[in-house]
Amino acid sequence: MVVYAPRKQRYAALVGSFDKASVTDFLAGVLSGRVGTAKMRQGAAPALAPTDCAAFARPNGSGGGGGDAAAAAAAAAAAEEEEEMDGDMMAEILAEEKAEAAAREAAIEAEAAAEKEEKAAAKKASETAAKIEEFKKRKAAKKKKKKRKKKKTKKGKKGGKKDEL
């Protein structure tokens, strides 16, 4: 029996007796990391080597008859090494995600600061425009007042001349 993880492109093959206890132990071992997995070659299925299942012993003692303790220890060491590599990869992924989150936060803060500056500049421009408009109104009112005064003064002089004649 072969267990395949398509997302990771890895597989593990069950070598031993094909009964409920062996299959359950094998699947639990794959899920926990006790049973090592191998990488798939690009687009190729693994070649299964002919193995005498009766002579193969699993590290926990289930499976067939005799077995090599050194092979079992090597398999356990390989599984442990793979587990360490998985832990390192997970730490690396978490560090990358943390850096990306920090970069997103910095971008959001920069955007908020730019928006705040833009609003302040727009408010200042609006206030300046209002001051200019007020100045123009006062200037026009002053000019109008001056014109009325001049007109009134002219009228008064004209009226005085007529009376004299």
Instruction: Tell if the pTM clears 0.75, that is, is over it.
Output: no
* 139-151 pLDDT, tens digit each: 999 988 888 888 8
The pLDDT of residue 25 is above 50? yes
- d(CA 26, CA 16) in angstroms, rounded, equals 10
* 38-78 pLDDT, tens digit each: 888 776 665 666 776 666 655 555 444 444 556 666 777 77
Residues 3, 27 contacting (CB under 8 angstroms): yes
